[in-house]
Structure 1
Amino acid sequence: MSEAIVANASPDKHFFVESLTKDITLLDCVLDLIDNSIDSVSSHLNPGDVLNVADSLKNSKVKIDFDKNAFTVTDNGKGIELQDAIDTVFRFGSIKKSQKQSIGYYGIGLKRAIFKMGKEIFVESTSKKEKFQVTIEVENWTRQPGDWSFPIEIKGENGDPSNTGVGVLVQGLYPEISESFGSPVFTTKLSETIGRDYYFFLRAGLEVWINGNLVKPAQLELKTGGDFKPGVEEYTDQGVEVKIVSGCHSTFEAQNTEDAENFDPKISGWYVICNNRIILAANKDDKTIWRGRHENFTYWHPQYNGFVGFIFFSSADPKLLPWTTTKRYVDLESTLYRSALPKMLEMTKPWIRYTQQRKADIPKAKQLEETATKSTLGDIIASHSRRQDAVTPKETPSFPVIQSTQADYYVSIQFKVEKSRVEKCKIELGNPSMSNGDLGKQAFEYFYSNEIG
């Protein structure tokens, strides 16, 4: 009997590292490292604490510093236990120990992020029991095809219960990474993204610092009181807790145009949240409920500005959630997510009807919107949970009913002209960005003033 012949199917390290990092952006790499830090600083919390318990992350800190030469991220979490570092944390493709509502995957996010950035990597951890450092020299490591391990250096026999945490330092930055870290545009975008995507953690007291500057959370409160009542629905599907909240953004006020087109479009739309981490923000296309995915609904229109909807998916097992490995996109094929879309659709329709009514009396709508109060999402959900029973698992959003009191006095004028002529008129008036409606009003007022008086 002849000796068996086998083919070598072992991975090439250069190819492996390139494949691992090719399709992830630098911004997402930084967020991956923040995710790991947040898991560490929040490991003592119970599910729901981030959303419902004030200051549940008070005194928790994540500090990020970078320039053209190096990148560091440090936290004051519980640190990594030595045995976890040996067995799981640095393994490719394995996740860390089970944790309540985790958002970080040490098995892919940590290595993908640090390999993306540079050639020299230092990970130092201090827990209550141990202190150690892992050093990775990427070029040397890739030249050893059969050895996939990383050396661990013990830094003293004991840990430091008063100074726990993890620090990651990356040096020898690749040219494109160095260029990005030296750009103020990247720094601004990173700060804005953190303020939005980690909104719920920041509201719970977490501090994130970028180059010495504290990141401020975005504004994601809703109007309440008077005739404004956010909608709330809670249910469980496939072992995942789901909460849906929709309503009018707290800073929205009706503009003097029917389309309310001056309200910040970066705020309005649907938000998808997995374990309190926003993975899709202010969505206005068919990734959520807008036309394309639901042919019986409408395309997004500036008239709908001011609407915000939030859908929360929460699970102790992150693999059950409808997100991708970058945590910046929704898994559109997820049956869990697809079954939620009709519910999101129903929670949007009342706002669409309200914006149609609002056209009838803009001044009245503006007055009502200015006098409403505001509430945080956590307060809204908690209030609903206290009232919830078997008969009322869902509260539909409601808004003021506006009936025209001006029908005898006001009419709309609509007509079409060539776009090029419209643009020339705007330029002549010294405001190329003015709306078509405002241009039409100025033209009418000019004619009326000069021809009628």
Structure 2
Amino acid sequence: MAEMVPLDDGDETKVEASPTKRFFVDIMTRDILIGEAIQDLIDNCIDGAKRLRPSVGESYEGLEVSISTSKEAFELSDNCGGIPLDVARKYAFRFGRAKGFDETEGSVGQFGVGMKRALFKLGRHFSVSSRTEDAAFDIVVDVDAWVDDDINWDFNITQLDKSARALADTGTTLKAWELETGVSELFARDTFTAALKNEIRVRQQEAMSRGLRFNVNDEAIIPLEWTLLSSGEALAPAHVRYSDDIGGTAPLTMRLYAGIGSSSPAAAGWYVFCNGRCILEADQSEVTGWSEASEDVAIPKYHGQFARFRGYAFLDSRDASLLPWNTTKTGIDLETDAYRRLKPRLIAATRPIIDFLNALDGEKEFEDKDRVLTEVVRQATSLSLEALPERRVFAASPPREKGPPLTRVSYQKPKAEIEALAEVFGVKKPKEVGELSFDYAYSEQVRG
């Protein structure tokens, strides 16, 4: 039994320093949003899928995560193998990652707080029901009653069943009820449900691409596909791989893809994934190198001219402690060795694309026949990242020789005179009258 030892009043050399549960729960849940808390619960499902299908790239077909939200309750269930009884008793409900825990290789749930923090955040009661091939159990917690007892920190297992069952019947179900007021109000909004679906679509894209299905309130989520525009040597995205030994029990690998996509200011920027979990989406800040310089390579501040930019950075390691995510997995820990290696690589991958987009923007002043980069983009097709060959630097065909620079000429004349001249030239539009009258004047006065 995990207990806080009360202060011995007879020992005047001791000072009480143990935490209260109420303070602990308040601090642990204060800085995480509801959507982020639900993502933490989903991470545990994905770790279950990884335990069931541990081979690199192995399909998750047949595995599913279902989420139900209402004003009254929250429920998440999966068929991803369940929580082994020994893991539940010794590790899964500890606050923090305990020594001796056999970490899932390539884990997404890294810090040992996600499930507890999320359930405390959601409601005043929660339950965890697990079914593995050799055991099933329930844990039911009255949060207020548990918080009021600062001595005993354990949860009680109920309905323990050690009979065998088929793998197809395994999984985990989490429930929360008597929801916190803010949670209940949030779950009643259609806008929250829509935002949650989109967040899952973005954050869990890699797991979905391997076949893991998600549905929210009985509606299936359609996965995204990350793509870049490509056209052979005319437009070739960068695809670079790195492997770094930075300590730990396994190397850190990085896959960087950088190029262009459709023009969308909201979608432009860098996407950063850690063990398949998207932790930065369309980032346009200094964190991913914008407004920064590295080894004589400088990147400007993001602006609308770069709305076609897309970059994807996948960081993976069997030792999840090497990854540069923060505890809510919504941003990067800037003090990590992994991030110090990542940032200059992002800057180096970004610069050639900035040069291309600057040149593309400059073509706005050219005649149509001279807009060669615009034509390259128009003819390019979207390719999935997996289909892109390795290439260290983004490249595009150089523009062929252009005509002379152009300057706009505009003037106003009486409408009747414009119409009369249009009739002489055999045209209808004032623009055509202006161009033909200029050509006539140039021919007569300059060429003679």
**1:320 corresponds to which of 303, 322, 328:** 322
Cα distance, 1:205 vs. partner? Answer: 1.1
What is aligned with 2:418?
none
Superposition pairs for residues 418-429 of structure 1, below 5 Å?
none
| Residues 1:412 and 1:321: Cα distance change in structure 2 (over 3 Å) | farther
Cα distance, 1:78 vs. partner? Answer: 0.9
* In the alignment, structure 1 residue 195 sits paired with structure 2 residue 201: yes
What is aligned with 1:66?
69
* TM-score normalised by the chain length of structure 2: 0.81
The letter for the 2-side match of 1:147 is N
**1:242 corresponds to which of 247, 254, 269:** 254
What is aligned with 1:218?
224
What is aligned with 1:8?
16
The letter for the 2-side match of 1:113 is A
Distance 2:164 2:46 in 1: 21
* In the alignment, structure 1 residue 25 sits paired with structure 2 residue 33: yes
Distance 2:403 2:225 in 1: 34
* In the alignment, structure 1 residue 156 sits paired with structure 2 residue 161: yes
What is aligned with 2:344?
342
Q: Secondary structure at the match of 1:282?
A: strand
| Residues 1:275 and 1:298: Cα distance change in structure 2 (over 3 Å) | same
Which contiguous aligned blocks of 4+ residues in structure 1 show a shift greater than 4 angstroms? 292-295
Superposition pairs for residues 95-114 of structure 1, below 5 Å?
97-105=102-110, 107-114=112-119
* In the alignment, structure 1 residue 89 sits paired with structure 2 residue 119: no
Residues 142-168 of structure 1, C-alpha deviations (whole Å, 9 max, x = no match): 111110000001343314223110000
Contact 1:89 1:106 in 2 (8 A): no
Cα distance, 1:365 vs. partner? Answer: 3.4
Distance 1:152 1:42 in 2: 25
Q: Secondary structure at the match of 1:97?
A: coil
Distance 1:221 1:321 in 2: 24
Q: Secondary structure at the match of 2:106?
A: coil
Distance 1:102 1:176 in 2: 31
Contact 1:350 1:399 in 2 (8 A): no
Superposition pairs for residues 135-150 of structure 1, below 5 Å?
135-150=140-155
Identity %: 28
Q: Secondary structure at the match of 2:241?
A: strand
What is aligned with 1:369?
377
Distance 1:75 1:192 in 2: 19
Distance 1:109 1:244 in 2: 28
What is aligned with 2:423?
none
Cα distance, 1:319 vs. partner? Answer: 1.3
Residues 110-154 of structure 1, C-alpha deviations (whole Å, 9 max, x = no match): 000000010110100000001100111101101111100000013
Residues 336-378 of structure 1, C-alpha deviations (whole Å, 9 max, x = no match): 2122212211111111111122222575434322322222222
How many residues in Structure 1 have an aligned counterpart in Structure 2? Answer: 391
Larger Rg computed on CA atoms: 2
What is aligned with 1:308?
310
Residues 154-193 of structure 1, C-alpha deviations (whole Å, 9 max, x = no match): 3433142231100000000010010111111111111111
What is aligned with 1:436?
none
What is aligned with 1:255?
none
Q: Higher mean Cα deviation, 169-178 or 344-353?
A: 344-353
Distance 2:401 2:54 in 1: 50
The letter for the 1-side match of 2:137 is F
The letter for the 2-side match of 1:290 is W
Cα distance, 1:266 vs. partner? Answer: 2.2
* In the alignment, structure 1 residue 42 sits paired with structure 2 residue 43: no
Distance 1:83 1:106 in 2: 19
Cα distance, 1:317 vs. partner? Answer: 1.6
Contact 1:58 1:204 in 2 (8 A): yes
Superposition pairs for residues 365-444 of structure 1, below 5 Å?
365-380=373-388, 383-384=389-390, 395-403=392-400, 405-408=402-405, 410-411=406-407
Cα distance, 1:225 vs. partner? Answer: 2.7
Distance 1:75 1:157 in 2: 20
What is aligned with 2:353?
351
Cα distance, 1:45 vs. partner? Answer: 3.4
The letter for the 1-side match of 2:254 is V
Cα distance, 1:34 vs. partner? Answer: 0.5
The letter for the 2-side match of 1:75 is D
* TM-score normalised by the chain length of structure 1: 0.81
Contact 1:351 1:399 in 2 (8 A): no
Residues 199-218 of structure 1, C-alpha deviations (whole Å, 9 max, x = no match): 11111111110101111223
Alignment RMSD: 2.5
* In the alignment, structure 1 residue 174 sits paired with structure 2 residue 180: yes
Cα distance, 1:267 vs. partner? Answer: 1.5
Cα distance, 1:3 vs. partner? Answer: 5.2
